[in-house]
Amino acid sequence: MKNVTITVEDATLEWVRIEAARRNTSVSRLVGEMLTEKMQHDDAYARAQRDWVADTSSFSSGGKAYPARDVQNG
C-alpha cells in the first residue's frame, strides 16, 4: 500500500473528517475506500459497455426489413 498527498478544499476536508468519524475510520482509509469503489464502478461500466457492443445480435433485424420511420414535416 502506498501513501499519497492530496489537496482539497477546506469544506471538503471538514466533511471527510466528520464522515470518517461517523464511520469510525480514518480519513485515509475512507478516501482509499471511496477511490476503490469509484474504480470498481467505472470498471464494471466499461465492461458492460464492451459486452453490449460485442453483442451483435442486438443490431440484427433477423433478416426482416426494419420498420420505416414516421417522418412528420412541420
> By 3-state DSSP, what share of the chain in percent is helix, strand and coil, each rounded to 5?
60, 0, 40
What pLDDT shows up at residue 58?
Answer: 65
**CB under 8 Å to 19, separation ≥6 — which residues?**
30
Asked if the structure places residue 33 within a domain, the reply is yes
User: Cell 440484427 belongs to which residue?
Assistant: 60
Q: Is 65 contained in some domain? A: no
Residue 17 counted as domain residue: yes
Instruction: Give residue 59's pLDDT.
Output: 67
Tell me the residue range of the domain where 19 lies: 10-53
> Would the pTM of this model clear 0.85, i.e. be above it?
no
Q: Is 35 inside a domain boundary?
A: yes
pLDDT at 1: 83
Is residue 59 in some structural domain?
no
Return per-residue pLDDT of the chain as tens, 74 residues.
888 999 999 999 999 999 999 999 999 999 999 999 999 998 988 888 888 888 876 666 777 887 788 777 65
Number of compact structural domains in the chain: 1
